[in-house]
Structure 1
Amino acid sequence: MRRSLILTVAAATSMVLLAMLVPMAVLVRDYALEDRISRAALEVQTTESVVSEQSDSPGVVAAYLDRINRDPDIQTTVYYPNGLAVGPDASEDARVEQARSSRQARIDDVDGGAEFLVPVSLGGASAGPEATPVIQVRVLAPGLESDIVRSLLVLLGLGVALMAGALVLADRLGRSFVQPIRALAAHAQSLGDRRHPEPVRADEGPHEVRELAQAMNRLVERVETLLERERAGVADLSHRLRTPMTALRLRVDALDSPEQRARLGGDLDELQRMVDHVVREARRSEREGLVAGTDAVEVLGERVRFWEPLAEDQERSLHLDLCPGPLPVRAAAEDLAALVDVLLDNVFTHTPEGADLWVSVAPGAAGGAGGAVLVVEDAGPGYPADLDVTARGASGAGSTGLGLAIVASTAEASGGGLSLGRSSHGGGRAEVVLGAP
């Protein structure tokens, strides 16, 4: 907006300056020509007096013309009736003959300027045209002389000063619009932070921008109120469910049949995990903001090392290949840790002890801009051919399938995805693509 305003003002000012300065430059040149013509008219009068007084002394007239013809812009020549020409132009043309015969002064536009032709009567009314000398004064049109150049430079400087002043004014005006809008945009971008954003100032900028700032402050306040109510409701839900679930667990523990206790206890544990998952997802915005971000190398490396003691107990070889960090991805650290925990837990739970596993973290397609690819491979039996990670409650391996669904949802929320296949080691291969923040 600021740049567009400056360009618009520059274009409008340029057109105005051209419309003003070009005619002024032409007027300056015409004024200089008129000034020379005025000086030439005075010289004609003086030369006419000299020629009439020294009609019999062409040498005196020649000396006088040598003195006044030092100005190259105005050149004077006297043509006598006997063919004698005194001055720089020795050729007598038809206009000189016409002025002598008509005995009338004339001024003509010629190439390069103007020309005065003034016949001088020497013998009074009885003298014929053949006794009439003619004074010719040529006035050259002004070119790029010092005075003209100086005037043009003054006009150019005036135009540059006007242009600079207009651009400065447009920049100040644009800044008065742009800065409040930028502050408003920065405030809008900070709304996803974990902390409560401060209200944006609504007393700067144009009236429309102030109204927009006030409306945004009201909107943020309403959203914060709704979020607080949602968080309070989730906390209350978790608290209310804890009491009946505890009562159910006590009743399950009181059952006489070990099989029923084990089956119902497992169902109750799964219900507890699902409730915890719902509460954790509901608190996601409070935990990570609108746009999450973390270092995949640091989080994934730490969680894989957490599982190394269990791998040693089960006599597994855990191979970890981490690329140099940091490698930012669009996911919260807690979700990323839960993702790798699910994948490794699947390996430890559904593959025989002693089956090796491999974990690698590499940069994603964005390269230096972030994103990562996590690959978990094992030497076990592999994933079922008909496994659907989006279908919760049926994994095909005796579990609910909730874990892989969480992995898939976390990857998709970051802008990536989850793909399962067969590893080169004969077991399962899970590839998780995480998007850049």
Structure 2
Amino acid sequence: MNPLTILINKKNIVLFILLCSSPAFCQKDSLKLTLDEAIATALKNSYEIEIAKNNVAVNTILNNYGIAGGLPIVTAQATNTEQFTSVRQNLTDGTVIRRNGAAGNNTQAGLTAGILLYNGDRVVATKKRLAELQYQSSEILNSQIQNTISLVMTSYYDVVRQLSYVNTVRTSIQASEKRLEILQVRKAAGMANNADIFQAQIDLNTLNQTLLDQQMVADVAKTELLKILTLDPKSPLSIRDTIMVDGNLQLDPILERIAMNPDVKAADHQIKINELIVKETSALRYPTIRLNTAYNYSRNQASAGFTLLNQTVGPNAGLSVGVPIYNGSIFKRQQRVAEINTTSAKLQKDVLVRDYNAGVIKMYQTYVSSLKQLETQKENYNLSRQLLNLTLQRFELIQATIIDVREAQRSFEDAGYRMINLNYAAKAAEIELKRLSSTLQ
């Protein structure tokens, strides 16, 4: 049987665990995992984090003045056309030109460049929007990292909790084995009947069945943790770790840090993005001025006709101005929609902050209540364990009945379960509070 030791003092609960919950997991090459290793593995393997990183990379690439339309556009083009034509021309001096299959060549080449000079500051607004999208994707990545760490920690400590339940059942099984052993000694001495032995054996079998059920639950918790870590769910896993609850969290500092939550900061960026979309849409109603320049080469050659060779080479430049006059009020309506979307983004942020504040208060209530109950429950656990040992001693001396032993066992099991649950609840609340305040490390 693999050891699992619960050490209890007045300040905290320390759960030292080195347990294989099934024979298949008792292999020498089992994966030994600490919390830090689990977090590092999840951050490395998480598909969700990789997707968020890719979004950051995409928005970083797009955050460019060229994408915003503020950089020059340079284009080069060239064409060459060979042609064969039949020519018939009657000149005013009476000359007649007739030619079948006259060869001709037309060559065109040019280099053009254009740059936007003014369009109502639409380029500036677009560039700022692209920067906000980059910042927002970074906050979304931070949020995914915090969520992943929180999920790993909660799942990791759930494994610890389930293994602690296994230990409680095993301790109770030892008591049942002791009780059965005492009864068998008594029966050999003619001081016990078969009914008591049968009942003791039934109780022991029931506890063994409960142990198997609890081991199954622990295995499921391990599989869930392996899934979160993106590891092979069939990998054997052993955990040796300590649950320590931070008892120094205060409500006001956590509430003050809600504004630092990456989800809230991402909502702030969304508001700015929508405000910049309003400016971009508004700029569509302003004139657009472009500077265009080109260097062109043209050569037209024919073997017959009025012009045998025509060649031109040279640069040109000019300004183009486009003034929107009327388009069915499309731009005006688009601007109004963008303003409504900005208002909605502000409301969505308010909803998010409201929900997070409420979540912090509820989690803090759970956190404080669990810590308070935990102090009492630790004392109850110590007393129930002492009571179980004392009852077994009295039972061995025929000063206690089998019912007394069963009640002592039941008290010990209930106290152990409640203590483990309260410890886990306090830790889970602590993790959630730190996630909401963006202080998970």
TM-score, length basis structure 1: 0.28
In terms of fraction of residues, the more strand-rich structure is: 2
Structure with max Cα Rg: 1
TM-score when normalising by structure 2: 0.28
**Bigger relative contact order, structure 1 or 2, given CA contacts below 8 A and separation 6+?**
2
